[in-house]
Amino acid sequence: MLVSAENPTHFALSREMFLPPGSLWRATDRVKSSGSIPRLEVDTPVGGQGSAAAKPGGPEWQQLELLFRVPSPGRIWLRLIAFSNSAGKVWLDDLKLEPVNELGDAVEDVRITPTRISERPIDLKQGGQFIEPLCRLTSSMIAQQVDGSSFEEEPPWKPSYKREIDKPYRPWYPEGAVHLAKYSLDTENAFNGKRSQKIELPVAHSRAGISQDGFYIDRDHEYRLRLHMRSEGNVKVRVSLHGEGGAMAGPVDLGTASHDWQGASVVLRATHAAQNATLTIEFEGPGTLWLDRVYMIDAGAVLGLWRGDVVAALQTLNPGVIRFGGSTLEVFEWDKCLGNWDLRAPYVTEPWGGLDPNFVGVEEFVQLTRYVNAEPLICVRWTGKTPQDAASEVEYFNGAADTHWGNVRAQNGHVEPYRVKYWQIGNEIGGAKYDESVKAFAEAMKRVDPNIKILSSFPSAETLKLGGGYLDYLCPHHYEVGDLQTEEESFQVLRDQIANYANGRDVRVAVTEWNTTAGWMGLTRGILLTLGNALSCSRYQNLMHRYSGLVEIAIRSNLSDSFGSGIIQPGAGWMYRSPTYHSQLLYQRAAGSFALKIDRSTALAPHLREPDLSATLSADGKTLRIYAVNFTSGIRRTRINLAGLGEVADGQAFVLGDRERAGDSEAMNGHDDPDRVGVSIGKASVHGREFEYAFEPFTVTLLELELKER
C-alpha cells in the first residue's frame, strides 16, 4: 500500500480487534518511506501497549516489530501511523499479527534475593484514597437521604456510566388535596439558595403538601428530620414516613409556621423496615406554606453525617492518606462550605454538571479522614486565587484560635487546630504561569504553618526548579496504568528532575490520582468494576513497590460511586465492593516492608512478564510477601528460590479471584452478588528454601510466608 501526502498531515490506518486478555502477540510490518517516519503501535482502553518506529534514512524496506500483551478487556486498536504532521510517501506491506507462546508448560525459575531495591520501606500512603465533589460521589457516602433538599434547579450531569440510572429519579411531587392547592417554586425570599417550595391551599379542613419516595428505612432506627418553613395564615405542619403497607413513623406535628423563616426538627422512629419509603410534609388549610432546606439523616450516622457501612469499608482499607481534590476544586469556594448545614447553599459541580447539596465540605472531609486514622491531603484552588487565599485555608485548619480564620473554625465548634500536614497547590494545573506562581503560594502557606508539606500539581521540567525549595512532592496523575512501561518512564523523568533541581532536599513523588482510565465514559466505563481492572491496578502496585524509594504517596481514583470507578459502590440501603477494593486491601499488607530484588529466567521485558511479581520483606526480616498477578487464562508455574533469605516455616495464601472460576477477566460484583470476586485465604503449602507454585488464571495471589530464624 502506498500512502502519499503533499502537505503535512496526520494519517493512520487502524483496525479494532478483540483478543484473549493476557495473551502475548507479535505485530510486524514492512515499511519504507520518504519524508515521514512511520510507526506501528497498539492502543487499548487502559493505555498504549508500545510502539515501533522506522529508522530515519533512505528509502529501503525496514521491518517494524512490536511485542505486546493484551490487557483486559481484550479490546485493542492496531495502528499504522503513516504521517504525524509530516508529508511525503509511505509504503506498507506484509502486516502480520501472530500469537506468541512464550512458556508453554515450562516452569519459570524465580530467584528472590535479600537485596533491598530501596532503603525506604513501602509507605502505607501508597494505598491512598480520593474523595471529590463530583455529581453523586459524596452524596453516596452520607446518611442524608433527601434529594433536592433546597428545591434548586439542577443542571444535567455531563458524564455518564449508565445514563438512565446514574442519578436516581426522586422528585418532590404534590400530595393530598392537590386539586385544591396551587404549587410553585418561589424565587423571592428563599431561605437557602435561589428557590423555595410554595404551596397555597385556600380551603379549610383540607390537607396538601409534598412527598418524595426512595427512602431506605431500618426498623427501630431513628431519623432526624430538619426543615425550614414560613407561612401566611399560621398553618400547622406535620411530617410522616410511610410505605409498603402503612405508616412507618408519624404523622408528627412540627408546629405552626409563621411569617418569618424558622427551622423545625423532629426525630422519626420507624416501626418497620422499607426499601422504598415515602416522606410526606403537609399542612391543613387555609393558608400558604413555604418550605426550604429539608434534610433527613440516620441518627446513628458516623460523625452525624456519614453512612456507617461506607465508613467501615473505608476504615478497613487503612488507606494512610485520603485526598480532597478533583476538577471541581478549581471553581470551588471552600469557605462557602463551612458551618451550619442549614445555611449552606447547593452549588454546581463544574465541569461535571449536577448540583452538590453542600453537606460535605473540606472540614467534614478532614473529620472523616481523622476518624479512620488516615492523613488528610487538601488540594487548594489555584484558578482565580491568590497566595493569600491559599494561606487563609491553611489558617482555618491549622491556625491558632486567636487568628482570624482559626477563630472562625473555633466558632464552628473546633477550637483545636486540625494540623493538616499535606497541601497540594491546584488540581491538574500546569504550565509556565503555574510554575511561576508556585513559590509565592508555598511561601504564603508555610508562613502560616512551617510544618506543612507542599505538593505540586502537574509538574513540568521547570516546576521544581522554580519552586524555590518549597516543594516536597511532585505529583503526576497516572490514568493509563495498564501501560506500565509509560508510567515507569514517568517515574524515571521525575526522578531525574529531583536529582537535578532538589538541591539535596528530600523531594518525593505523590501520584495524586491514578486508575486504568479517566476519560472513558458511557458503558465502556464498566471495565473499572471488573476483575481485570483489579489485575491491572495490582500490576501498577507492584511497579510502585519497585519505586518505593521515590513514590511515597499514591491515591487511587475514586473511592465511592463515581460512574463505576469507585471501589465502594453504595446504593439505597445496600453496598458492594469492587474487585479492586480487595486488591487494595492485599497491597496494604506490605506497608512498612522493603521491596526485594527478583531475578527471573524469562527474557521478556519487565512489563510483559507473567506472572507480574513483587517481593517484600518486613523490617524485622521475619515475613516475606510474594505478590503474583496472573493476567493470563492459563496456570503460571514458577520455581521460587529464596536465595539467602532462609527457609519457610509457615504461611498463608491470599487469592483474589472469581468464585465461579469462569476463566473470565470481566467477572464483577454487584447488588445481587456482592461477593463473586473476593479473596480466599488458605494455608500456603510451601516449605524450605525452594518450592514450586502454580498461580491460577486471572488472579492476584499473596503468599505471606513466615521465615525460620537463621
* Predicted confidence (pLDDT) per residue in 477-526, tens digit: 999 999 999 999 999 999 999 999 999 999 999 999 999 998 889 999 99
- Between 168 and 584, whose confidence is greater? 584
Which DSSP state fits 302?
B
Q: Assign 246 a pLDDT band (cuts: 50, 70, 90).
A: confident
Task: For residues 34-42, give the mean pLDDT.
Answer: 93
The set of residues, in sequence order, having a beta carbon less than 8 Å from that of 417 and lying 6+ positions away, is 397, 398, 399, 400, 401, 406, 409
pLDDT of residue 14: 95
pLDDT value, residue 104:
61
Residue 103 in this model has a pLDDT that exceeds 90:
no
Bridge partners of 42?
A: 78
Could you tell me what percent of the chain has a pLDDT over 90? 95
Total-model pTM: 0.95
| Consecutive H or E run containing 612 | strand 612-617
Q: What is the 3-state secondary structure (H, E, C) of 134-148?
A: CCCCCHHHECECCCC
Q: What is the mean pLDDT of residues 126-143?
A: 97
* Arithmetic mean of pLDDT over the chain: 96
Average pLDDT over residues 3-31: 95
At position 492, the amino acid (one-letter code) is Q
Q: What is the average per-residue pLDDT within 373-400?
A: 98
Kindly state the average pLDDT of the residues 147-163. 96
Q: Which H, E and C letters describe 155-194, residue by residue?
A: CCECCCCCCCCCCCCCCCEEEECCCCCEEEEECCCCCCCC
CA dihedral (327, 330, 336, 342) in degrees, to 10, reads -20
Query: What is the C-alpha to C-alpha distance for residues 183 and 198, in angstroms, rounded to an integer?
Result: 6
Instruction: Look up residue 145 and give its three cell numbers.
Output: 437521604
HSE (CB half, 13 Å, CA atoms) of 484? 23
Rounded to whole angstroms, the Cα distance separating 37 from 292 reads: 64
Cα–Cα distance, 143 to 177 (Å, whole number)? 31
**Distance separating alpha carbons of residues 706 and 684, to the nearest angstrom:** 10
First to last CA, the chain: 66
Q: How far apart are CA 574 and CA 20, in angstroms?
A: 34
In the block, cell 503513516 appears at: 82
- Mean pLDDT is lowest, of 99-113, 243-257, 529-543, 634-648, for 99-113
- Residue 644: pLDDT above 70? yes
Question: Residues 381-396: what's their mean pLDDT?
Answer: 98
| Cα–Cα distance for residue pair 344/357, rounded to 1 Å | 8
Amino acid identity, position 376: P
Are 72 and 49 within 8 A, CB to CB?
no
pLDDT band at 289 (very low <50, low <70, confident <90, very high): very high
Q: What is the distance between the alpha carbons of residues 439 and 454, in angstroms, rounded to a whole number?
A: 10
Condensed to tens digits (0 to 9), the pLDDT of residues 518-574 reads 888 999 999 999 999 999 999 999 999 999 999 999 999 999 999 999 999 999 999
What is the grid cell recorded at 328? 471541581
Q: Model confidence over 318-345: pLDDT tens digits? A: 999 999 999 999 999 999 999 999 999 9
Asked if residue 310 has pLDDT above 70, the reply is yes
Whole-angstrom distance, CA of residue 1 vs CA of residue 11: 14
- Amino acid letter for position 123: D
How much is the average pLDDT of 254-272?
A: 95
Measured between alpha carbons, how far is 592 from 589 in angstroms, rounded to an integer?
9
How far apart CA 363 and CA 335 sit, in angstroms, is: 10
Task: Return the closest-CA partner of residue 166 out of 138, 137, 194.
Answer: 137
**Beta-bridge mates of residue 176:** 208
Alpha-carbon Rg for the chain, nearest whole angstrom, is 29
Cβ 321 vs Cβ 554: under 8 Å: no
Q: What is the mean pLDDT of residues 362-378?
A: 98
pLDDT at position 58, please?
A: 67
Are 179 and 242 in contact by the 8 Å Cβ rule? The answer is: no
Rounded to 5 degrees, what angle do the CA atoms 644, 645, 649 make? 135
**pLDDT the model gives residue 244:** 83
Q: Is the pLDDT of residue 440 over 70?
A: yes
State residue 577's pLDDT score: 98
d(CA 680, CA 555): 26
Compute φ and ψ for 144, nearest 5 degrees: -85, 120
Predicted confidence (pLDDT) at residue 451 exceeds the cutoff of 90: yes
Exposure class string for 642-680: b at 16+ Cβ within 10 A, else e: beebbebeebebbbbbbeeeeebbbbbbeeeeeebbbbe
Partners of 255 in the β-ladder: 237
Query: Average of pLDDT values for 696-708?
Result: 97
Alpha-carbon distance of 332 to 325, in angstroms, equals 10
Single out the residue of 329, 380, 269 nearest to residue 133, CA to CA: 329
- Can you list the domains of the chain with their CATH numbers? 2-101 (2.60.120.260), 107-116+592-710 (2.60.40.1180), 124-142+307-591 (3.20.20.80), 173-298 (2.60.120.260)
Say if strands 24-34 and 75-100 run parallel, antiparallel, or are unpaired.
Answer: antiparallel
Please report the DSSP string for 461-472 in residue order. Answer: TTHHHHTTT---
- Spatial separation of the C-alpha atoms in residues 348 and 52, rounded to whole Å: 45
Q: Measure the CA–CA gap between 227 and 224, rounded to whole angstroms.
A: 10
As given in the structure block, the three cell numbers for residue 376 are 488528610
| Cα 420 to Cα 492: distance, rounded to the nearest angstrom | 30
Q: Is the pLDDT of residue 30 over 90?
A: yes
Q: Is there a contact between 559 and 130 (Cβ–Cβ < 8 Å)?
A: yes
**Dihedral in degrees, nearest 10, Cα atoms 633, 635, 639, 641:** 60
Distance CA(466)–CA(501), nearest Å, equals 9
Whether pLDDT at 245 is above 90: no
pLDDT at residue 611, rounded to an integer: 96
Neighbours of 43 (CB within 10 A): 19
